[in-house]
Structure 1
Amino acid sequence: MPVDVGGLHPAVGPPIAFVVLALLALFVRWAFAGRGGPTADDDGLLVRVATVSRRDWASALQATLSDAGIRSTVRSPAAHRTEVLVFPADAERARALAASFSGPG
């Protein structure tokens, strides 16, 4: 025996669910639209200390920084451009090491 769930026709449920999901999607889009989002120049909490043309050079610099106790990360925002980033507290020491860095090999 079918259970009476309010007397609505069974074809009414899916459109209502679709409308609710669409409204939820619009709300989420509106709620997060003003946050600005990351941009190509947004380094977050990190500071760029060097930009090199080859990834292996950036990896070698990263190893040099690591040997000095400086945590770093590498990113490649474009072809033939790799950046080394560190936390602001380590930026001055990292820049000094990067300036004296002669590349791999």
Structure 2
Amino acid sequence: MPIGAGSSLHFLVGPAIAFLALALLVLFLRWAFGTGYGRGTPEPPAGEGLLTLVATLSRRESALALRAVLSDAGIRSTVRFPAPHRADVLVFPEDAARARSLAAVFPGGRAVDG
């Protein structure tokens, strides 16, 4: 009969410590590298963004054509697609008035008043 054999559970101490250390490591890494549970970057209010909306169009091709017209006029612009069948053309605030006047005469779009 081996010495110390019986009802002793000393053989479980090593794996229990390893499991506890691993669980603490997982919790620490989740805290350190987690997403923050909804602490995403808040969107700025409509009037405080870097770009200004000048037109909303229903077709991608129309938005890209308006962007080309604006580019020919020396106005930097971009297009975003917030929903299907919707394209917004945005420009920097200092170019918004000129861009709106060009967008107003552009076929297929709806100029947005500033």
Per the normalisation by structure 2, the TM-score is 0.66
**CA 1:77/1:87 → structure 2, altered by over 3 Å: closer, same or farther?**
same
Shift of 1:36: 5.3
Structure 2: 5+ residue stretches without partners:
1-16, 109-114
State the percentage of identical aligned residues: 48
Structure 1: 5+ residue stretches without partners:
1-8
What amino acid sits opposite 2:21 in the alignment?
Answer: G
Q: Give the secondary structure class of the aligned counterpart of 1:22.
A: helix
**1:23 counterpart = 2:31:** yes
**CA 1:22/1:102 → structure 2, altered by over 3 Å: closer, same or farther?**
closer
Bigger Cα displacement from structure 2, 76-85 vs 57-66: 76-85
Alignment of structure 1 residues 16-55 onto 2, 5 Å: 16-25=24-33, 29=36, 33=39, 37-38=42-43, 44-55=49-60
CA distance in 2, matches of 1:46, 1:37: 16
Deviations 1:9-48 (A, max 9, x none): 444431221121233356x617x72x65238x68831100
CA distance in 1, matches of 2:54, 2:23: 54
Alignment correspondent of 1:64: 69
What amino acid sits opposite 1:48 in the alignment?
Answer: L
Per the normalisation by structure 1, the TM-score is 0.71
Considering only aligned residues, what root-mean-square deviation do their CA atoms show, in Å?
Answer: 3.0
**1:14 counterpart = 2:19:** no
Shift of 1:80: 1.4
1:79 to 81, 84, 92: 84
**CA 1:25/1:83 → structure 2, altered by over 3 Å: closer, same or farther?**
same
Aligned pairs, how many?
93
CA distance in 2, matches of 1:52, 1:11: 58
What amino acid sits opposite 1:61 in the alignment?
Answer: L
